[in-house]
Amino acid sequence: MKLPDYYEFLPQPKFVSGKSALEQLSTELQEYGASRPLVLMDGASAAAGLDKKIIKAFYESSIVIGALVTDPPAKAEAGAIKTLTLLFRERGCDSIIAVGSDSVVDIARGLNISLEVPGELSKNAGINVLKKPLRPLFLVMGMKSGGWETGNEVVIDGNLFKSDFLYPDSVIIDSRMLKKVSDKELVNSSMIALTHAVESCAEEVSNPLADAYALSAIQYISENLANVVKSPNDRKGKIALANAYAMAGIGDPARGIDLIELYDAFTYMELMWIEGLGFCERGEGGSLIESGKTSLEGELPVNASGGCLSGNPVMVAGLNRIIECVLQIRGEAGEHQVEKVKTALAHGTNGPCGQSHCVWILGGDE
């Protein structure tokens, strides 16, 4: 294995996985000086009795649950986060436990920002705007994953927040919390995690520690997915898949990509393909674009050339995306040149419903 000349890796979050991992949650809280958490859990998890398992896990400890919310909103929005902030303070809570995936974890991150940053949330949006640690945040993994639970960013009302302070402090993986999901949901979660892991390993900007997480995720999914589909009660297989979802989320598919050229012959396509390529969660493409992250001056510019909407020679539309990436890497893109493009992604598709896709990653040496 070749060691890169330079790389960065933050060894967070901590993983606690296996038998009695749930009972270890009280120790994790105490290590952060916390004793009164607010617990966020989606309605389906509560209906499956997972709220009772969380409560029981603290029976032999001094931890007291300050608030248990089992009906959070469907997505992270400032209004709902403000309501939870008031509840957190009224109940004297000092930490947050998010049980499940997707919106629950996003809301937990939004709540954490709201508790520690004064004023309107939107005024603190951006990359690395948050300058200090937030309240202790713990994640209890489920079998349904959007691929971002263990990451360090959240989009709230179209505003992107990204900071190392948004990583969960600990991830708890216990088979008792891995409620049964449909085969479709199981396969979908596994494919999202697999995509993130493969993209992380394939990037030109090598990071050996991130690659180790990604390769483990790939192995766990390849060895266990089929067995869990056939035998939903396979406890060890479910634990392995939940570990894979958590590990894959640590690798950032956007890491090392400086620019994207997507095929967008119609306006809806950029939203769909940016989600499909794994740069945001499903349903968050619009919020990502509104955040400014994909603008010419943003962190991850998309279609700086104007894309296919500005002109679409159908038979060479995909080739044009590659040409535009090459011009950007060479610094020859003229008025729409993006600064410091070393690695670019070119995407093409065919078929009225996007039945076939082709993705190229292009790079150049200085």
The C-alpha atoms of residue 50 and residue 57 are separated, in whole angstroms, by: 11
Q: In what order do the strands lie in the sheet with 126-127?
A: 126-127, 159-162, 153-156
Of 79-83, 95-99, 250-254, 256-260, which range is least confident? 250-254
Q: Is the pLDDT of residue 184 over 70?
A: yes
pLDDT for residue 256: 61
Residue 28 binned pLDDT confidence (cut-offs 50, 70, 90) = very high
What residues contact 89, with CB distance under 8 A and at least 6 apart? 115
Q: Is the pLDDT of residue 92 over 90?
A: yes
pLDDT for residue 172: 94
- Is there a single domain that holds both residue 155 and residue 281? no
Q: Is the pLDDT of residue 282 over 80?
A: no
Mean pLDDT score, 1-23: 78
* Sign of the alpha-carbon torsion through 110, 113, 115, 121: negative
pLDDT for residue 212: 86
pLDDT for residue 138: 96
Residue type, 36: R
- Could you tell me the CATH number of the domain that includes residue 82? 3.40.50.1970
Q: Is the pLDDT of residue 57 over 90?
A: yes
45 alpha-carbon distance from chain centroid: 20
Entry field: residues in the chain: 366
- Is there a single domain that holds both residue 237 and residue 264? no
The C-alpha atoms of residue 288 and residue 334 are separated, in whole angstroms, by: 26
State pTM to two decimals.
Answer: 0.74
Q: Which two tokens stand for residue 77?
A: 């929005």
pLDDT for residue 284: 80
Q: Domain for residue 8, yes or no?
A: no
- Is there a single domain that holds both residue 47 and residue 116? yes
pLDDT per position as a tens digit, 163-172: 889 999 999 9
Q: What is the DSSP string of 47-58?
A: HTTHHHHHHHHT
Q: Domain for residue 1, yes or no?
A: no
Mean pLDDT score, 339-362: 82
Q: What is the DSSP string of 101-112?
A: STHHHHHHHHHH
pLDDT per position as a tens digit, 306-341: 888 877 787 778 888 999 999 999 989 888 998 888
Structural domain boundaries enclosing 270: 259-363
Domain count, the chain: 3
- Is there a single domain that holds both residue 272 and residue 335? yes
b/e map 343-355, b = 16+ CB within 10 Å: bbbbbbbeeeeee
Q: Which two tokens stand for residue 292?
A: 């400014």
Bond preceding residue 168 cis, omega within 30 of 0:
no
* 319 or 255, which is more confident: 319
Q: Is the pLDDT of residue 283 over 70?
A: yes
- Distances in Å between the alpha carbon of 211 and those of 176, 207, 248, 252? 29, 6, 10, 11
Mean pLDDT score, 113-131: 84
Contact 135, 116 (CB under 8 A): yes
Mean pLDDT score, 43-51: 87
Residue type, 196: H
- Could you tell me the CATH number of the domain that includes residue 213? 1.20.1090.10
Mean pLDDT score, 213-236: 90
Q: What is the share, in percent, of the chain residues with pLDDT greater than 90?
A: 33
Q: Among 231, 250, 269, which residue terminates a domain?
A: 250
- Is there a single domain that holds both residue 95 and residue 125? yes
The C-alpha atoms of residue 124 and residue 185 are separated, in whole angstroms, by: 34
